[in-house]
Amino acid sequence: MTQHRNAQPGSATVVDMKLEVVVIPVSDIERARVFYQSFGWRLDARPTGVVQLTPPGSGCSVQFGGNRSTAAPGSAQGLCLVVSDPQAALDKMTSAS
């Protein structure tokens, strides 16, 4: 068990938690799926109207679909995709768009 950093010795502990899915609002689900899969992202699930993909080596997936968020397409902010080779990732992304 992991003790909460502000907890006093002998007090409550924190349960292990992981962020596993982030919802990204998009206007075209199929176009977004093709775009992300072109980088080698794994297609995890595709129930009606929803797509879930996971970047290689990531413990967190992304989901998009009409019934996942009321946020405007393109409005996601503050998300960071960590890559081992920034220039190669940029080259791949700009050639795919």
CATH code assigned at 59: 3.10.180.10
For the chain, how many structural domains are there in total?
A: 1
- SS3 label, residue 86: helix
Look at residue 94 and tell me if it is in a domain: no
Judged against a pLDDT cut of 80, whether residue 10 lies above it is answered with no
Which residue range is the domain that position 62 belongs to? 17-68
Judged against a pLDDT cut of 80, whether residue 70 lies above it is answered with yes
Look at residue 34 and tell me if it is in a domain: yes
Look at residue 91 and tell me if it is in a domain: no
Banded pLDDT at 1 (limits 50, 70, 90): very low
Looking at residue 18, its pLDDT comes to: 92
pLDDT in tens, 12-61: 788 999 999 999 999 999 999 999 999 899 999 888 889 999 999 999 99
Look at residue 81 and tell me if it is in a domain: no
Looking at residue 66, its pLDDT comes to: 73
Look at residue 12 and tell me if it is in a domain: no
- How far apart CA 44 and CA 75 sit, in angstroms, is 23
Exposure of 55 by Cβ count < 10 A (0-12 exposed, 13-18 middle, 19+ buried)?
middle
Look at residue 55 and tell me if it is in a domain: yes
